[in-house]
Structure 1
Amino acid sequence: MIHSLTIENFMSVRDRHVIDLGIGAAVNDNAERYADAWSGSAKRVPKVVAFFGPNAAGKSTVLRAIQHITWFVRDSFQFQANTTLPIEPFWGAGLEGEPIKLAIEFDTSEKWWPAPDNLPGLQVSPETCRYSYEVQFEYKNFRRSVLSEALYSWPSYAKRKIRLFERDANGDVSASIEFGLAKHKAVLKQILRDNASVISTLAQLDHEPSKLLQTASRRINSNIFIEKSVVNELAMLQFFQANPDFIESANRDLSNIDLGIRSMSVASGPHGPIANFAHEGLSRPVPLPLESHGTRQFLHVYPHLAHTLKNGGIAVIDELDLAIHPLVLPEILRWFYSPERNPFNAQLWITCQNVSLLEELTKEEIYFCEKDAAGGTSIYGLKDIQGVRRVDNFYRKYMGGAFGAVPTIG
């Protein structure tokens, strides 16, 4: 789960913003909506994090920050040498030449690597360790490249935060003994590029900690990428065809949310997989191209949600409410609250325009984005606004302008 996200000089976010999801022990209402940040911690984080605000206020930018970190950690070594990184700073005045800064604190269910030789036989429990990853990018000579990078952890045997590695502006990497870099350091110095992460580079050398972190990054399932793209229905159908258990799961959920569909089936066609839908009262199945936009949108995001719930991790969904009925949205949230449906405390990050969803959320789950006159995005949580009570009608107060982040018309 993500505990906090820091964004500075990235796309529409000009100033430094820290989205700290921490919930204190005194909050005991709706306990099923929160999970321990790590084993034995008094700090909890919400399982659902929702961002609201006007169009172009920067909601998607928050999710893109997560996706950029994920991509950079996992896949940046695949970039060709001398290729500029696909990351944009704030385009307004006053920050020319300033670095882009992204940081994320998280825990993972992936198994921690064996302890170093000076701690023989010690295996660190994955439930008691969390990480903090920080990266800075610079824009210089018309190229976007890495300026610095660092990874920290809190293993149970250390009882404190330790540095795993740090990379400076010259590309030099220093690491603690826990990171096990010694036998790879010489080769790393030769092949590390200014457009690739240390982790994605070391993974090519079969460095076990880096391979573990790459595996952890694959637990982030998102419907947005470095560049927004149109829905790829062929990829969606290929996923369902390769994972028939998800077809069964989707059929159960389709019938529960009453889209008028009895079942979906996927079969091989002359140009790839095709889907047909059996409807109540119809004598023949309906092919996917004739289904409603809402049904197709639901099926597009469904693999991200179902895979995350089944295996744990984080689902990052931009515009979850796009063409999906307002009464269906709370049901999707309930999947993440359910211990049976979400046994590994998977987390859901969403942007949403349908503000009626505010009536279904607690104040710890709600964040707003709005832009100032200079085009910079501000990000703030409802829990940080003084005077907000749990019994308040968040929908009515938001629509009345009490929380800000509403469009100005006229």
Structure 2
Amino acid sequence: MKQRIVEFAQFADFGIDDIRKVDNTVISSHQQYDETGKATKMVTFPFRKNESEGTIKYFSLAYPIIDALDHGKRLVIDEFDSKMHPLLTCKIIALFNSRLTNSKNAQLIFTTHDTNLLNANLFRRDQVWFTQKDSLGASELYSLAEYKVRNSAPFEKEYLMGKYGGVPIVGQFERLFDQKEETEDGTDE
């Protein structure tokens, strides 16, 4: 499994050649290159100290993703897109949507704020669900399939326009900064 996780990371272009545990610390290995592009030596770093939060999150999801796809499990991830590149997020979703990589019908359920994912090429309408808070703060869950829209509709654009609900009612932040401008002599205008 360790080798599959390393390969999963290599496909994501993190530049990590290996990971291992040394004295209860995860270490990542990277190839170092000289100015001509020739590999010179392997260098190691404490994983949690030196890798980005996105790389750490991707690695933390690698085993659950592989395990879910291998065994047909359900995987639930909150804030799936947080700290990860959108192309990696889309690629992981594509793994779950593919009959080739998901032959055991694993299910990925996640929350996100990334509206770029509202794409008919990535999801069917019945796969997209929204939440809408009421005046008391309780959330209602409903599907995009409940709306009469074409499969080719621009889901992201229409969502951001408020067509499907689920968008926050954004207040006037500017009011926090409403202050009278002072003139050069220090008096208010």
Give the TM-score of the pair, scaled to structure 1.
Answer: 0.37
SS at 2:92's partner residue? helix
Q: 1:51-130, aligned counterparts within 5 Å? A: none
What residue is the counterpart of 2:53 in the other structure?
Answer: 293
Q: Percent identity?
A: 26
Aligned length: 161
Displacement of 1:296 after TM fit? 0.6
Say yes or no: does 1:379 pair with 2:141: yes
Give deviations 1:106-145, integer Å, cap 9, x for gaps: xxxxxxxxxxxxxxxxxxxxxxxxxxxxxxxxxxxxxxxx
The unaligned stretches of length 5 or more in structure 2 are 35-40, 172-189
CA contact (8 A) 2:132 2:140 kept: yes
What residue is the counterpart of 1:35 in the other structure?
Answer: none
Distance 1:279 1:329 in 2: 26
CA contact (8 A) 2:8 2:62 kept: no
Structure 1 residue ranges (4+ consecutive) displaced by more than 3 angstroms after TM superposition: 279-283
What residue is the counterpart of 1:309 in the other structure?
Answer: 69
CA contact (8 A) 1:277 1:287 kept: no
Which gives a bigger RCO, structure 1 or 2 (Cα 8 Å, sep 6+)? Answer: 1
Aligned alpha-carbon RMSD (Å): 1.8
SS at 1:342's partner residue? coil
Say yes or no: does 1:391 pair with 2:152: yes
Aligned-partner residue type, residue 67 of structure 2: H
1:256 alignment partner, one of 6, 11, 18: 11
Structure 1 residues 355, 277: closer, same or farther in 2, change over 3 A? Answer: farther
Distance 1:307 1:273 in 2: 23
Displacement of 1:400 after TM fit? 1.2
SS at 1:401's partner residue? coil
Structure 1 residues 279, 392: closer, same or farther in 2, change over 3 A? Answer: farther
Distance 2:31 2:98 in 1: 28
Distance 2:158 2:52 in 1: 33
CA contact (8 A) 1:279 1:286 kept: no
Q: 1:6-405, aligned counterparts within 5 Å? A: 245=1, 247-259=2-14, 261-269=15-23, 272-279=24-31, 281=33, 283=41, 284-288=43-47, 289-359=49-119, 360-385=122-147, 387-405=148-166
Distance 1:342 1:357 in 2: 20
Give deviations 1:347-376, integer Å, cap 9, x for gaps: 111111111111232211100001011222
Aligned-partner residue type, residue 367 of structure 1: W
Distance 1:338 1:252 in 2: 19
Give the TM-score of the pair, scaled to structure 2.
Answer: 0.78
The unaligned stretches of length 5 or more in structure 1 are 1-244
SS at 2:60's partner residue? helix
Aligned-partner residue type, residue 28 of structure 2: N
SS at 1:406's partner residue? coil
What residue is the counterpart of 1:84 in the other structure?
Answer: none
